[in-house]
Structure 1
Amino acid sequence: MDSCLTDRAFTELNDQIINLLDSFSALSMLSSLDIRYPNLEIILRKALRGLMENMDMERCSIFLLQKDQLVNCVGLDWDDVLLDAPEVSLLRQSVSLDASTGEGIMGLAVQTKTLQHCRDCSSDERFKVVPGHAIGSIISVPIFQPGGDVLGVLNVSHPRSCFFNEWHERLLVVYCNCLGQLIINHRLVTQMDREIEKRTSLLMRTLEEVRKVEKGLRESEEQLNLVLEGSNDGFWDWSLVTREIKLSQRWAEILCYTLPEVEQCFQGGTDLIHPEDAPSVRTMISKHLAGSLPHYCLEYRMQTHNGEWKWILDRGKVVEWDDLGRPLRMTGTTTDVTDRRWAEEEKRRLENQLNHSQKMEAIGQLAGGVAHEFNNIMTAIIGYGHLMVMKTEEHSPLRHFAAQILTSAERASTLTRSLLTFSRKQVSNPYHVNVNESIEKMGKLLSRLIREDIEFKTELADARLIIMADDGQLEQVLMNLVTNARDAMPSGGLVFISTGLEELGPESVPSLSSGQTGTFVRISVLDSGIGMDEKTREKIFEPFFTTKEPGKGTGLGLAIVYGIIKQQNGFIRVSSKPREGTEVSLFFPLIQGEGERTEATASSPMKTGTETILIAEDDDDLRRLNRELFEACGYCVIEAANGKEALDLFQEYQNVIDLLVFDVIMPKMNGKEVFEKIRILRPDMRVLFTSGYTGDVLNGSRGIGSEYDFIAKPQPPEELMAKVREILDRPKE
């Protein structure tokens, strides 16, 4: 009896050990499954295979809960295990045994959250018959997730009734708890892998976008550098928070610095902006930062490394703001516009010269237009005035009146000559002039022009300064300049005249052409007067411009000086500042060598003669006047009213005529044409041309050259008679 108990106990113990080992093996198999495997069904099949290999069962399956419905996930029977086929090949459509919560044994297990054991399926109402399967007993165990919620059901079955015992129940409860953890872990891992994959994909896309952006930035930077290099512009980046300024290499090169040098200048507080331009720069930037201007754009001067000043065009705008709208960062470009500014300045200077020349030409045209008629009128007045003087007693009141008429007429003639001189239309008689000798001869005359409270000094160069000029016009120029110097010193001062030689070229006087460069004679008139500003200095050569009080100046003095100097191929340079005096320097081309000029001897009041003179003059008054003058001086006169009449009269009286006095411009035939026809008849015939027209008309196609004797209207009768006598007294060629 004891022996039988002992054997039975041993057998039970052995069975328990085997069950324990089987339980351990099944659970070990479950824990060894790779939850990272993507297919949950294959993982669960492996789990069921391990369970069936360690437990006596015919069939097992897992149903997962989806909402309130249990859906067959995976099933396995013993035939599958015996085939030892891979789990992937076992994936086939399972028999549809879906059930709702509370329906059948599976539904009760979910509903009650407890193990349901049907020991005899044939008599248990909870069992739901499965077509095609012989099931004697079945256990349905709920699969829990951490927290107690049901995930699904594990079903194990056997064809025999009452096959499963308490050990099976305990094992399956533990197994399902572990199986629930496995399913949850797989879901978490799968979700995590998907999230990682999603985030990785997003990260990869982001990285790809970043790479594209970086590539685009590099390309944009390269394009910007190419554009900046092509445009020759410098680039700057200014942090308004840290006050740090970043500059490009080209920016430094514009100012002839290296990049570290110019950055050191800014860090050290060195201001390279021109003091006159700095206020406008600060104002413009402040307006832009305040939002008053959409852009910052300004031209100003900056000092280069070698101390010179360059004009730059600076452009920029704010590109970054804080949340309150305050500017944080400003960028821009800098362009060297020095050459353009110089070109614009040169253009303005040339335009001013052109405008000035056009003004001079307009006044000259006006003066030349009235000169002929005015000169004819003045010739008549002066001529008849001299006849009146000749025909009256020395102490007669009429002679005094005639003298006053002649004085006024001479003033009017001088005004006409001044206008023509200013417009460079007055006939000039240039010759070699020794500048120093001319100034010495004029010394007393010039000193009498100034007051006693003004000191007059001269400093003449030792060299012989020879120029080509009209001595009378040079005298007029110096008188005008000394008179202006006197008027500029109401409280006294100094007038200082100096001469010298200077080598000049286009770099020192841009208005000079290449043919005018070389050695120039300089005549300077310096005063210690009130001076003038730049605006006034630019207008001093304009006709009728004056700063003097009404009645004290005509505004023609410096305009006449300008005309005379230009007529002699010279130029003028004026230096002056308010309260610092004025210096006017005249420059004439130096003439190598010295010419000789025969001074005219003093003439008697009237030269007389008995020769026969043919006069051709289209103005009736002048023709009658000349007839009376010549006859009063003893000459025989034949008169003609035009060129054709003069030719006809000469052909009639050619054997008795000794001299021709012809007006240059006449109707029907001009004086030169008549004389050329007369020379064919009498090659030795002498002629004196006279005209009230200006020099540019006389030198045209109808005019006369320097080889002919000429006297301009209006002329005093004694000068006309002296010229006539001088021509007649010449020996015939």
Structure 2
Amino acid sequence: MFAEIPDLIFQFIIDVDNNYSFPLFSKSIEEIFELSTSDFLNNIKSAISERIHPSDRDLFFQSFVKARKQVSRWEVEFRGILPEKGLRWFKISSKSELSSDGKVSFFGHLSDITELKDKELKLRISEERFQFALEASTTGVWDWNMLTNKVFYSSLSLKILELESADVLDDPERWDQIVHPDDLPKYYSDIQDHFENKIPYYENYHRVMTSSGNYKWILDRGKVIERDEQGKPLRVIGTHTDISVQKEKELELIKTMKLYSDQNSRLLNFSHIVSHNLSTQAGNIKSILDFIDIDEKKETIKEMLIHLRTVSNDLNDTILNLNQIVQIQSNMSIIIRPLNLVEYINKTISTIKNFNSETNANIINNVPEYVTITFNPAYLESVLLNFVTNAIRYAHPDRSPIIIFDYTIEKEGHKVLKIKDNGLGIDLDAYGDLLFGMYRTFHKHKDARGIGLHITKNQIEAMNGKVFVESEVGVGTVFKIVFNDEL
């Protein structure tokens, strides 16, 4: 029976005088240890010692001495060097018994575990390579057991979230709570599509809140690796990759491209205005001069000179307006400093009353006195004055104008000034896209030139701010200035 067993089966006895004997050992010693029975029995200790790797001899004999002394199990793994097979791994597993005469007997087996050790080594190398690859790529791993509804997160996944332990993040609902609200719908949709086998794997870009309260962009990928008989997911494995740096560069690129697009649009609009207005007025001057050449009557010349003066004044206004726009858009060294918003609103109110003491406008300032914004002083005066004078100029004929200044803070932290009036209002469906265009007018008013809002928008954008409008015909208008300042 022993001949059929590949392991070396043995009974080994050592007495109180350290004499060794092997009452029982299987013939497989010749195959496993490359040692004949006679050589083994003639010098047991020497035969074994010669086969053990020099670096493992102390481990081997110390484990044996300990098992003998404690009369406990003897288990040890060690390397051996054989004449033909070379380096091999072995394992001894045995139990011990103490007899009445002080002898200790070991009953067990010795196995060749070289193939197992080779597999363990390859697995360890593979795991080390995988771990190195994960660490080098800043990619974390997650494993979702849907039966227990528990999720394992690797150390790198936790590092992305600036967490030390997975204890606070062990179920999928906790992850859902830190996903940015704006990203949740597509996040749910993408993973559900994969669960329903509509797509071969799950992939989604979303923001997650870290322990510091800041958001990071991650690329979340996953795949169902186990389903039940009905196709319901049982286990999902995936990765988290921190792509905040790439996403910030992408958003900055989009922002830059939009800036260039807006600048190109303004340049195209500017060139059309220059071409149309200057050519029209130049044509008017030529026509007047042609009339003077044809009709030399003194009365005709006098009349034509009056027209020429009007055209000349219009041309001068056009050139001044265009020059102002060019200065705003090309001024790279404009002065910017903190300004008290209430102070400039009060200055605007005072300017309006001094200019037109008969105005019956009721101007209400709800802005707190402590509010400051970073802006150019001259631009801020111009912006506030233009919005207020427009509100008075386009007041509703059936009621006295009311102008209200309100201050708010957006959820992103940007400071916002709202200027509300109860005037004529603007039909945004008809004129919304044209509202801030140059020489665009929307009411029949004798002083309307269509340049103020265009200049105002350029001044706000030159300060990296934004302007928005809400309006209803017959009710009034609200202009919202979003400053570049953040709390």
**Which aligned pairs between 1:258-297 and structure 2 lie closer than 5 A?**
258-263=164-169, 271-297=177-203
Offset at residue 348 of structure 1 (A):
1.6
How many angstroms apart in 1 are the aligned matches of 2:256 and 2:368?
Answer: 34
Matched, 1:526 2:422: no
Counterpart residue type for residue 254 of structure 1? I
Secondary structure at the aligned position of 2:387 is classed as helix
Distance 1:525 1:268 in 2: 38
Counting aligned pairs with the same residue, the percent is 23
Q: CA-to-partner distance for each residue in 1:399-430, whole Å, 9 max, x for gaps?
A: 999978866775565455434533449999xx
Q: Distance in 2 between matches of 1:586 and 1:238?
A: 44
Residue identity matched to 2:466: V
Please, which of 306, 318, 325 is the counterpart of residue 422 of structure 1?
Answer: 325
From the superposition, tell whether residues 523 and 291 of structure 1 become closer, same or farther in structure 2 (CA, over 3 Å): closer
Structure 1 CA distance, aligned partners of 2:309 and 2:263?
35
d(CA) in 2 for partners of 1:273 and 1:561?
38
Alignment of 1:223-372 (within 5 A): 223-263=129-169, 271-323=177-229, 325-369=231-275
CA distance in 1, matches of 2:478, 2:260: 28
Q: Which letter does structure 2 place at the counterpart of 1:456?
A: I
1:559 matched to which residue of 2? 454
- Report deviation, 1:363: 3.0
For residues 588-638 of structure 1, give each alpha carbon's deviation from its aligned partner in whole angstroms, at most 9, with x where no partner exists: xxxxxxxxxxxxxxxxxxxxxxxxxxxxxxxxxxxxxxxxxxxxxxxxxxx
AA of the residue aligned to 2:124: R
Q: Distance in 1 between matches of 2:237 and 2:188?
A: 16
In structure 1, how many angstroms separate the alpha carbons of the residues matched to 2:377 and 2:173?
62
Q: 1:347 to 1:461 in 2, by over 3 A?
A: same
Deviation at 1:291, TM superposition (A): 0.7
3-state SS, counterpart of residue 358 of structure 1:
helix
Distance 1:357 1:539, change over 3 A: farther
Q: Quote the offset at 1:297 in angstroms.
A: 0.5
CA shift at 1:346, angstroms? Answer: 1.8
Structure 2 vs 1, CA of residues 216 and 564 (structure 1 numbering), >3 Å: closer, same or farther?
closer
**Alignment correspondent of 2:58:** none
Pair 217,528 (structure 1): closer, same or farther in 2 beyond 3 Å: farther
TM-score by length of 1: 0.37
Shift of 1:328: 2.2
Residue 575 and residue 374 in structure 1: after superposition, are their counterparts in 2 closer, same or farther (change >3 A)?
closer
Q: Is the 8 A contact 1:524 1:585 kept in 2?
A: yes
Q: Is the 8 A contact 2:150 2:170 kept in 1?
A: no
Per-residue CA deviation, residues 376-399 of structure 1 (Å, 9 max, x unaligned), is: 4566789999xxxxx87xxxxx99
Q: 1:523 to 1:273 in 2, by over 3 A?
A: closer
CA change 1:425–1:320 in 2 (3 A) is closer
* TM superposition shift of 1:315: 0.7
SS of the aligned residue for 2:178 comes to coil
Would the aligned equivalents of 1:284 and 1:296 in 2 still touch at CA under 8 Å?
A: yes
CA pair 250-564 structure 1, distance change in 2 beyond 3 A: closer
- List gaps (5 residues or longer) in structure 1: 1-34, 39-202, 386-390, 393-397, 499-507, 510-521, 588-733
Give SS of 2:465's match: strand
| Alpha-carbon separation, structure 2, partners of 1:575 and 1:277 | 26
Cα distance in 2, alignment partners of residues 37 and 258 from structure 1:
56
Q: Give the partner amino acid of 1:298.
A: N
Superposition deviation, residue 298 in structure 1? 0.4
Alignment partners' CA distance in 2, 1:237 and 1:586 = 44
Q: Is the alpha carbon distance of 1:261 and 1:318 closer, same or farther for their aligned partners in structure 2, counting shifts above 3 Å?
A: same
SS in 2 for 1:277: helix
Q: Secondary structure at the match of 1:482?
A: helix
- Superposition pairs for residues 553-632 of structure 1, below 5 Å? 556-563=451-458, 571=463, 573-574=465-466, 576=468, 581-584=478-481
Preserved CA contact (<8 Å) 1:541 1:559: yes
**Residue type of the alignment partner of 2:321:** S
For 1:138-153, list aligned pairs within 5 A: none
Matching residue's letter, 1:559: H
State the distance in 2 between where 1:252 and 1:416 align.
62
Question: Which letter does structure 2 place at the counterpart of 1:350?
Answer: T
Contact 2:460 2:466 in 1 (8 A): no
Residues 1-400 of structure 1: matches in 2 within 5 Å?
210-263=116-169, 271-323=177-229, 325-369=231-275, 373-374=279-280, 376-377=282-283
Letter in 2 for 1:418: N
- Structure 2 residue aligned with 1:455: 362
**Matched residues in 2 for 1:361 and 1:557: separation?**
18
Residues 239-264 of structure 1, C-alpha deviations (whole Å, 9 max, x = no match):
12221111101111111111234335
CA distance in 2, matches of 1:384, 1:279: 69
Larger radius of gyration: 1
Q: Deviations over 1:185-238 (max 9, x none)?
A: xxxxxxxxxxxxxxxxxx989x66554443333222211111110001111011
Q: 1:250 to 1:425 in 2, by over 3 A?
A: closer
Question: SS in structure 2 opposite 1:293?
Answer: coil
Q: 1:348 to 1:427 in 2, by over 3 A?
A: closer
Going from structure 1 to structure 2, the CA distance change for 1:487 and 1:257 (only over 3 Å counts) comes to: farther
Alpha-carbon shift at residue 486 of structure 1 (Å): 5.9
- Comparing both structures, which one devotes a greater share of its residues to strand? 2
Paired residues, number: 342
Partner of 1:200: none
Task: Tell me, yes or no, if the aligned pair for 2:325 and 2:455 is still in contact at 8 Å.
Answer: yes
> 2:226–2:235: 8 Å Cα contact kept in structure 1?
yes
What's the counterpart of residue 495 of structure 1?
403
Take 2:439 and 2:219, find their aligned partners in 1: how far apart are those partners? 41
Contact residue 531 and residue 582 of structure 1 kept, 8 A: no
Unaligned runs of 5+ in 2: 5-109, 292-297, 336-342, 407-412, 472-476
